[in-house]
Structure 1
Amino acid sequence: MQWDIFCKVIDNHGDLGVCWRLACQLAASGERARLWIDDATALNWMAPTGCDGVRVIDWCDPVAVQRAAAEPAPDVLIEAFGCEPAPELIAKFAEAAAAGNAPQRAWINLEYLSAEPYVERLHRLPSPVFKGPGVGLTKRFFYPGFTPATGGLLREPDLAQRQALFDRARWLQAKQIPWQEGERLVSLFCYEPPALAALLEQLAAGPTPTRLLVTAGRATRAVEACISNGKTATPTSSGLGALSISYLPYLTQPDFDHLLWACDLNFVRGEDSLVRAHWAGAPLVWQIYPQDDDAHHTKLGAWLDWLGAPPSLRLFHHAWNGQGDTPLPPLETQGPWRETALAARERLRAQDDLLAQLRHLVAGKS
């Protein structure tokens, strides 16, 4: 079947990251995928070699839109994260649906990831279209999630096998990361967390040698700002005391997975990296995307509840996400934090992955 995925980049590359993974998994399973994107710039480093079976279309190019409107309509139309396709493309889809020549034709509204209770209530619900070029059709909500009553998480069929074969030392050497045996590895993919300076201080003063692997972009700028503005005692990029810092270039999606597999603790942000950190199975700390009305705190709490986070991990998340005046507790890479991460991964592995559930919905529409 032909699947069209529509994605508008809001910021921080997460929306594109999710949609690109979905498109690639569709292609790997024998489907045809077109990814409509208004800004594909990040694919230059996220997926520089592209993917066989995935066609990227510039949503802002009127010529590309006209050409696609002249082609056969897709069997499945996916609106990712509330974006709306061009009216002429919806009209083409509606015309094909009315002709009835593709009984599995489906219109899916792919929503954001959350562990909040409403996700189970709304997952798979129909949404009739009452106006516009798609009038008379019905969309269906598809909510990714962490429980069997939701749409699950993106997971490639061979992910566990690839991770089992991963050689940490070889990958670190290939990336020219000066790691030494016995040095704790911590990845940092974040926005500008309020407790960042406190984390750097804690790592520098700690008893365990730690190498902080800082991802390119906002995380690098945030760490450099802490150091240059004197918010932390760490004076140089080479670190102080027990802390050493390595600044990474932008990583492809496979190499971002490798980074998470290589580390003893992963700091992640947004949606796509949270899912990949769960599959890594190492202890993780999530910086949730901040919202003005603090609604993200409710979302964070729901995820911590599902996770069964021990008190120390819950308090660390509160401090990391600026919730209250909680001081930053000591971080852990073993014990309850690691046990919690491994248990969560096993629960998720026992559930159907997102693509399997999405294909089931398309086939049954119920």
Structure 2
Amino acid sequence: MTDVNFYLDKLNSQSYAFGLPLVTGRVKARPADFRVIEVMDVEPSGEGEHFWLDISKIGLSSERVAKSLARHSGVAYRDVGYSGMKDVNADTRQWFSVWMPKQLGFDWSEFEMNEVTVHSIHKHNRKLKRGTHKANEFRLKVVDLTGDIESLEERLSIIAGCGVPNYFGEQRFGYGANNLTKAQGLFDQGRKIKDRQLRSVVLSSARSFLFNEVLSLRVKNGTWNAFYDGEPASLNGTNSVFQTDGELDNEQRLKSLDIHPTAPMWGRGHEKQTEHYSELAEMESEVMKEYEVFTQGLEKHGLDYQRRATRSVPNALQYRIEGDALELCFSLQKGQFATSVLRELVRQG
């Protein structure tokens, strides 16, 4: 069985788009230094069998808050919904839903949880499902900066204009990358994971790791922001993917960050889809050869082949450097990681 250090080394050696940062700093020195606000794509209707709660939490996982809501309301955990898994070591604001068809007048005033604030409660006719939000707004602070501060400002300007590699952040892989060793145990040794949610997290981690490996190679060879012939493109701000045809218009849209190259989210059906871009598919297959346990395992567990953008664009990027601290504000579409932006700016001290 592959040692966990193998995966950690792989994750730590992912290519940098602009070279190793020349500045060191501390990220998430305290939860208040990493603030996340969920931007929803829908609004509660005001009526229905589901309570939607707008909640802030500090230093807590989304799962832990969801379980507390279930206990307080006397419902099953499966009847509590939330759109995104937010950082634990952070100050985050997001929505939760609780299905209570027989207690439409439930009094939430007695719900209490340390480091949790309920801002508002609304009725809605649907459960809040994963991926319902549109984006996340980030307000970040990096402290104890040392090094070439001038180079930091240069990088911020570059990133505002061309984005960063859309790596999955380290939190996707669990503490010490243990989600990946669990995936290997599931695929290679048949170790069953009875908890459905944990199994989903483990499968997603394996898939995300493969994506990162392909993206790292494309960063290294300078194609993370360029199209291969016939490559599928991703429309900025959405998960919509379409086939490119080499027209000048697509190249212009690429430069303006309207569309992006893509890398594989591995699963069933890859053979049929990749026949349209043979050169890119050959490169990706070479990467996958090292991880046949993962590719075969993902296909066996029924995941379908998809594509994901290789670039992440921080929108409305603003920053301030004062003394030894950097303050950043920007937004990212759902499923993208602020830590991947920070990775290109500072090395963690």
Give TM-score scaled by structure 2 length.
0.29
Question: Whose strand proportion is higher, 1 or 2?
Answer: 2
Higher relative contact order (CA 8 A, sep 6+): 2
- Structure number with the higher helix fraction is 1
User: TM-score, normalising length from structure 1?
Assistant: 0.28
